[in-house]
Amino acid sequence: MSNVQQETIEIIAKQAKIELDTIKPESTLKDLGVASLDAIEVIFDIEEHFGINLPNEDTDFDNGTVGQLVEAVERQLAAKKND
């Protein structure tokens, strides 16, 4: 598991008040019981933690998976590093 994945999962777990081991890459925030307002907080926390901005198309609360969210964070970090 990459550091980005680990840190992203820790942020989701803390914000959603759920156990780390219940979060799988194929889980959606909706599957994990994260309400849409809480999901917005999760995204804000992730953006703040990593110092990035996630485009709206990378933040699909209903259908987007944790794995896809991690990939979006990694893309933004790579783009930031290349700036």
Residue 45: per-residue pLDDT: 95
Q: Give the span between the Cα atoms of 79 and 38, in whole angstroms.
A: 27
Q: Are 34 and 62 in contact (CB under 8 A)?
A: no
- Please tell me the predicted confidence (pLDDT) of residue 50: 97
Q: The tokens of 48 are what?
A: 């703040």
Backbone angles phi, psi at 28, to 5 degrees: -100, 160
Report pLDDT digits (tens) over 1-32: 789 999 999 999 998 899 999 999 999 998 89
Of 11-15, 17-21, 34-38, 49-53, the one with minimum mean pLDDT is: 34-38
- Token representation of residue 53: 């901005």
Q: Which domains can be identified in the chain, with CATH numbers?
A: 3-82 (1.10.1200.10)
- In DSSP notation, 11-64 reads HHHHHHT--GGG--TT-BTTTTT--HHHHHHHHHHHHHHHT----GGG--TTT-
Question: Is the predicted pLDDT of residue 58 greater than 80, yes or no?
Answer: no
